[in-house]
A and B are shown apart, each in its own frame.
Chain A
Amino acid sequence: MKKKKICMVGDFSVGKTSLTQTFVNNVFSDKYLTTIGVKIDTAIIGDTKLIVWDVAGRDSLSPINSSYLVGAAGIVLVGDGTRENTIDDLSIIWDTVKNRIGEVPVVVALNKADLYDWSVSDQSYTFFSEQGWDVFSTSAKDGRNVEEMFQALVEKITN
């Protein structure tokens, strides 16, 4: 079985851990617990064993530690659909990724789609589309588009 490392990256509290847990263990918790360093989980999609690196979120004081990205075959850029700044920050995060490991397959997860105050601008969608990235409105809480998002990334990686 092929093994592929992917990294979940994005600002803090956008739901990277929740998306991973929903996908890997099918569990969701409302309680916010910040990730320190990196947590590694595995999941199987088809004949690929996915090693999911849930990387600590970027905040105003500390950028993403790019060492965690080395060896990744794909990236999930995660933003919070109710916090516009976290979506704007995805381009900065992408620059960090690109500088460290070069161009790799990417999918975008705009998380918390179950909440009412969705605030993703048209410019953001345009930017993602220009990059050729697939965009998923996900909800770790109700599971919508979570599996589809990981599936899409695996397809991009294996193709």
Chain B
Amino acid sequence: MEERRLQQQINEQLFKKLQLAYFCVDKSMRVTCFSKNLRNYGYDSVLVGAEIEEHVDFMIGLDAQTELDLPMVESPSGTPVAVSLLPSSGELTVLISDASGHAEQRQLLQQKANENELLLEQQHKLMGQLSLASKELESKNQQLEEASRLQTSFISGVSHEFRTPLTSIIGYTNLVKEDLLLVSESEPEVKASAQQNSEHLRAVQRSSKHLLSLVENLLDHGKLDSNEIFIRPKSTDLAELFDDVALLLKPLSDSKNIEFKLDIELTNSFMAVMDDSRLRQCLINLVGNAIKFTDQGSVTLTARLADESLTISVADTGLGISPENLKKIRLPFWQAADTGKAGTGLGLTITERIIELMGGDLDISSELGKGTCVSFEVPAPMLLETPIGECSTVSGSKVLLAEDDADIADLVAMMMSEAGVDVTHVENGALAIEALRDQPFDLVLMDINMPVMTGYEALEKLQESKNKTPVVILSASSIEADRAKAESLGCFDYLVKPVDIGDIFQIMNRVVDQESL
């Protein structure tokens, strides 16, 4: 007994030195001894003989055989303690030590680590949401692109359907008009009737051309939206181009009793490397607009070619544009409500975009009631070599025409025959291949959409058979993909209907010149 008391005293002193508190329990979990400093941790009701579960909460559920380390348990005093349960000979000694220093350090580190991990989780979650949103946007974008593609395809389909009959209407009207000119040399009565008919035909022609330009504007707008308009520079006679524009639009200004003035100064050379058809389109749009919105006075087209740069301005004495409308005028489909003039509202938008593609900027200045001036400057590199085809002739050439539309075929054949060209007409690609096997031709003019065998298929066959006869496509489609497809199949050139017969002759001259080299 004395020995046990002595041992306890030694333990007390040792534990005190080590800042340890303790208690012991027997098998029945009743307290057999405890250190006085136990109360420092808030365990102040512990008594010898008492059931430990009544006074120390962390002992609940444990027995005298449990050996366990419980690091950092929050004690009743609030101090974190480390608890060790040491069973021995049926008794259990429980050691309690202050762990506040370690706990504080751990708290700081763990807090930071957990906060960082939470931020990472949050970031990961946001990235996931962002990726999902991005995928949704991508899918919507694809749907929109598909819708836009369908729209362009629809417009191009419609324009194709319009172009083919319009080619016939415009071409045949021309032929009839020429016939009428011959009639006008005869008797006065016939002459009067012919003049009247000629007027009617002019009206038909005007309306047809207007319809064609509306269709082309719609098509161009769709193509600009999908970046399908390309500038194709080639040798261009600017003097001829301005004359053409004047000839085309003069009747319009005459009909409104407006003076149409041309002020052209083309120094050095008239020939420049430009996309003549797109430049022509811009000039027709701008001058046409000026005439449309001018009821008295004049419209002046000024052109200056200097230092490989072409400066154009179109000035009118028309209605003018208010500052408010001047801001909206470049928007597609926009038209001033108060002018009462018809149109698609696309002409200026398209013109501006084409000028941008040619490397220029459209400038518009206007004063309400006094008039408007639109101007732009585009690069116009000079052509140094002699234009191809000037001295060549098409007369006597043999041309194979593959065209399923009988009206267009007759029209082209008639105009070419007049120039002394020997034309053989077939209705589809298969017959064209057959004809080329039977006899040689200088040139093939080929439509794309034909029954039995399309122009594309025929081009493919010709490529396979290594036939060298140049093929010029006459297509109603001005879609870039169609042109590219034909070019990849080896076509010599690609013309869009309604085709100018002069363009065909120019190509024929190129073919002759190339062959003679």
Residue pair A34, B114 in contact (C-beta under 8 Å): yes
B227, CB-defined interface residue at 8 Å:
no
| Residues of B in contact with A, size category | 20 to 34
A36-B121 contact in complex given A3-B60, A42-B57, A72-B61, C-beta closer than 8 Å: no
> Is B107 part of the binding interface, using a Cβ–Cβ cutoff of 8 Å?
yes
Residues of chain A contacted by B60 (CB below 8 angstroms): 3-5, 51, 71
Q: Do the beta carbons of B72 and A38 come within 8 Å of each other?
A: yes
Verify A38–B73 contact, CB threshold 8 A.
yes
Closest 3 CB pairs of A and B: A71-B61, A37-B72, A5-B61
Residues of B within 8 Å of A128, CB to CB, are none
The one of B53, B66, B107 that contacts A36, using a Cβ cutoff of 8 Å: B107
Closest chain A residue to B129, Cβ basis: A117
Closest Cβ–Cβ distance, residue B421 to chain A (whole Å): 77
Would B68 and A67 count as touching, CB distance under 8 A? yes
A85 and B121: CB pair below 8 A? yes
Q: Which residue of A lies closest to B115 (CB)?
A: A32
CB neighbours (8 Å) of A85 from chain B are: 121
Q: Assess the A70–B61 pair: CB atoms within 8 A.
A: yes
Give per-residue flags for B48-66: 1 if the beta carbon is below 8 A from chain A beta carbons, else 0. Answer: 0000010001101110001
Q: CA of A36 to CA of B99 in the docked complex: distance in angstroms?
A: 11
CB contact list, B136-183 vs A, under 8 A: none
- List residues 67-94 of chain A with CB under 8 A from any CB of chain B: 67-68, 70-73, 83, 85
Closest to A72 in B: B61
A98 close to chain B: CB less than 8 A:
no
Tell me which residues across on chain B come within 8 A of A42, comparing CB atoms.
57
Cβ of A61 within 8 Å of any chain B Cβ, yes or no, is yes
Interface residues of B, Cβ cutoff 8 Å to A = 53, 57-58, 60-62, 66, 68-74, 80, 99, 103, 106-107, 110-111, 113-115, 117-118, 121
Bound Cα distance from A70 to B462, whole angstroms: 90
Cβ-defined contact, B74 with A33, below 8 A: no
Given A34-B107, A36-B72, A39-B74, does the pair A59, B113 have CB atoms closer than 8 Å?
yes
Q: Which residue of A34, A68, A71 is within 8 Å of B111 (Cβ)?
A: A34
- List 8 A-B residue pairs with CB atoms under 8 Å apart, sorted by A's residue number: A4-B60, A13-B118, A32-B118, A36-B103, A37-B73, A40-B74, A67-B69, A73-B61
Give the residues in chain B near A38, CB-CB below 8 Å. Answer: 70, 72-74
* Residue A12 interfacial (CB < 8 Å): yes
- A37, B61: Cβ atoms closer than 8 Å: no
The CA-CA distance from A56 to B111 in the complex, in Å, is: 11
Quick one: which of B70, B107, B121 contacts A83, CB cutoff 8 A? B121
Chain B residue nearest to A37 in the complex (CB): B72
Interface extent on A, as a size class? 20 to 34
Closest to B102 in A: A36
Chain A residues closer than 8 Å to B99, beta-carbon distance:
37
Q: Which residues of B contact A129 (CB under 8 A)?
A: none
**CA–CA, A102 to B4, complex, Å?**
40
Please, which residue of chain A has its CB at the minimum distance from the CB of B54? Answer: A3
Set of chain B residues within 8 Å of A159, measured between Cβ atoms: none
Is B58 a contact of A36 with CB atoms below 8 Å?
Answer: no
Name which of B61, B72, B107, B118 has the most chain A CB atoms within 10 A of its CB. Answer: B61
Return the contact of A70 from the options B68, B72, B73, B115 (Cβ within 8 A): B68
Whether A99 is near chain B, meaning CB under 8 Å from some CB there, is no
Contacts of A59 in B (CB 8 A): 110, 113-114, 117
In the bound assembly, the distance between CA atoms of A37 and B71 in angstroms comes to 6
Least CB separation from B111: chain A residue: A34
A59 to B106, CA, bound (A): 14
Name the distance in Å between B429's Cβ and chain A's nearest Cβ: 61
Assess whether A65 is interfacial by the CB under 8 Å rule: yes
Interface contact A36-B117, CB-CB below 8 Å: no
- CB contacts (< 8 Å) of B103 on chain A: these are 36-37
Q: Is A60 an interface residue (CB 8 A)?
A: yes
Whether the pair A3, B117 counts as a contact (CB closer than 8 A) is no
* Most A C-beta atoms less than 10 A away, residue of B53, B58, B80, B99: B58
Shortest A9–chain B CB gap in Å is 15
Chain B's closest residue to A57 (CB) is B114
Are A51 and B114 closer than 8 Å at their CB atoms? no
Contacts of B118 in A (CB 8 A): 13, 32
